[in-house]
């Protein structure tokens, strides 16, 4: 059965306000000559019975605005995703990974990663793969960090053997000193955005990632840097890669306990990649890396927040490409985003603000008391999501 959420009357008010002024809340418009990419962590998208009819229609309405959207937190049960696809109709296709994050048969919450795309614009390529570190690389990492790994594994091993003997509960995860593998393998799919007559296509590998949350920030950073290294090294091989450009879309989980104080640390971590250079001096080897959502949009006063509580930028879109394939925007162009319809732009569909205004909730999210938040957020954090969709608009280059 569906979890408690908005009533039919409340959904009617929400949809009426959205239809009246969708631009106000950041839902991307369909503009001829451009394509819209996006990412959306839909909380525990599983059984088709776990959400109301109005919620499924709302989720489909969001996805319909995109030419290609990466979806995270798809459960093993695909009936909910299939319900969205039924609502979208034959104009859209999807591709989805198998369950990752838990060994088959073991207890735990595994997830799939998927893409929904518009057939009239998007052509799916032949290459579809998980992203993993091969065995030889893992052994190399273990050799480089042998003493540190041994130091944490020895007490864990003792607790594990004690658990197997039935003398205690199963030990918790440990704080590993080095990256060994992804908690959920990122999902990589080749796409070609064919566009419209008189335009050039975009060809790229789309990487869908839901990185580690866990107990330790160091684990999150290790996963992030491992993924960055993998993508950048693959872009360097663009004469061998199926497509030379990579676009990362996903929930990177780089949140911090103290957003106002720790955001600079997060930005420093990510902006070490968010530039052109990468220690290359040959312009033909130069790799551009751009995370637009690290920068303040020209029309905003702060960086976009992507979680429903409006406190963190969990989700990101990252662009990786060489100068020789320069149709994608570099980080230097972020300050000029959104200067007119049809231009390169990015944003977030702030459905939290839509819900607040449609329901007549007077305090803003940042002004709400704990009691007010406890009343407001349960109406949609499970039924819709605790993340909001983010998007990037790309004008298709002229031939």
Burial class (CB in 10 A: 0-12, 13-18, 19+), 339: exposed
What pLDDT sits at residue 197? 79
CATH topology assigned to domain 8-133+179-395:
Deoxyribonuclease I; Chain A (3.60.10)
Give the span between the Cα atoms of 264 and 277, in whole angstroms. 21
What pLDDT sits at residue 107? 79
Over the chain, what is the mean pLDDT? 89
CA-nearest of 186, 97, 176, 189 to 138 is: 176
CA angle 374, 211, 251 (to 5 degrees): 55
Scanning the structure block, which residue is given the tokens 């130091």? 151
CA-nearest of 373, 365, 345, 394 to 27 is: 345
Please report, for the chain, how many H helices and E strands are present, in that order.
9, 12
Dump pLDDT digits (tens) for 182-239.
999 999 999 999 877 778 889 999 999 999 876 667 788 889 899 999 998 898 876 7
Average pLDDT over residues 314-331: 84
Dump pLDDT digits (tens) for 353-384.
999 999 999 899 999 999 999 999 999 999 99
Q: Name the more confident of 256 and 352.
A: 352
Highest mean pLDDT pick, 49-58, 220-229, 260-269:
49-58
Residues of the chain with CATH 3.60.10.10: 8-133+179-395
Give the span between the Cα atoms of 321 and 245, in whole angstroms. 5
Q: How confident is the model at residue 258 (pLDDT cuts 50, 70, 90)?
A: very low
- Asked if residues 276 and 290 have their Cβ atoms less than 8 Å apart, the reply is no
- 145 pLDDT exceeds 90? yes
Q: What is the pTM of this model?
A: 0.92
Average the pLDDT over each of 4-8, 166-170, 195-199, 272-276 and give the range with the smallest value.
272-276
- Asked if residues 275 and 228 have their Cβ atoms less than 8 Å apart, the reply is no
Scanning the structure block, which residue is given the tokens 């000193």? 177
Looking at 156-234, which runs of residues are DSSP E strands? Answer: 187-193, 202-210
What pLDDT sits at residue 288? 87
Dump pLDDT digits (tens) for 31-50.
988 999 999 999 999 999 99
290 forms bridges with which residues in the sheet?
Answer: 319
- 3 pLDDT exceeds 70? no
Dump pLDDT digits (tens) for 96-142.
999 999 888 887 889 999 999 999 999 999 999 999 999 999 999 99
Q: How confident is the model at residue 173 (pLDDT cuts 50, 70, 90)?
A: confident
């Amino acid at each position: 059965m569906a979890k408690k959420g908005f009533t039919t009357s409340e959904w009617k008010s929400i949809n009426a306000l959205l239809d009246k002024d969708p631009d106000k809340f950041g839902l991307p418009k369909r503009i001829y000559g451009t394509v819209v990419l996006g990412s959306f962590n839909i909380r525990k998208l599983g059984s088709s019975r776990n959400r109301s009819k109005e919620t499924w229609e709302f989720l489909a309405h969001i996805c319909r605005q995109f030419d290609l959207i990466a979806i995270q937190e798809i459960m093993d049960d695909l009936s909910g995703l299939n319900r969205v696809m039924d609502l979208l109709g034959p104009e859209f296709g999807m591709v989805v990974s198998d369950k990752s994050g838990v060994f088959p048969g073991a207890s735990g919450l595994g997830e799939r990663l998927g893409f929904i795309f518009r057939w009239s614009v998007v052509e799916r390529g032949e290459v579809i793969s998980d992203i993993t570190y091969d065995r030889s690389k893992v052994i190399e990492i273990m050799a480089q960090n042998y003493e540190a790994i041994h130091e944490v594994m020895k007490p864990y091993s003792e607790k594990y053997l004690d658990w197997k003997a039935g003398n205690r509960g199963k030990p918790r995860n440990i704080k590993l000193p080095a990256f060994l593998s992804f908690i959920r393998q990122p999902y990589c799919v080749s796409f070609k955005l064919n566009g419209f007559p008189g335009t050039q296509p975009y060809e790229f590998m789309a990487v869908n990632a839901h990185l580690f949350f866990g107990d330790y920030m160091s684990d999150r950073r290790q996963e992030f840097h491992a993924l960055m290294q993998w993508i950048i090294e693959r872009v360097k091989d663009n004469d061998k890669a199926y497509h030379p450009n990579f676009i990362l879309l996903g929930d990177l989980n780089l949140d911090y306990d103290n957003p106002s104080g720790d955001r600079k640390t997060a930005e420093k971590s990510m902006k070490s990649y968010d530039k052109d250079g990468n220690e290359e001096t040959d312009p033909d080897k130069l790799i551009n890396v751009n995370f637009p959502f690290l920068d303040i949009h020209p029309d905003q006063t702060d960086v976009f927040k992507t979680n429903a509580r409006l406190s963190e930028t969990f989700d990101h879109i990252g662009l990786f490409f060489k100068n020789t394939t320069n149709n994608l925007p570099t980080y230097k162009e972020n300050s000029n985003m959104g200067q007119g319809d049809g231009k390169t732009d990015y944003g977030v569909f702030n459905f939290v603000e839509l819900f607040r205004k449609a329901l007549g909730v007077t305090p803003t999210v940042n002004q709400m008391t704990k009691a007010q938040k406890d009343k407001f957020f349960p109406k949609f954090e499970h039924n819709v999501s605790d993340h909001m969709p983010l998007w990037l608009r790309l004008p298709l280059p002229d031939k």
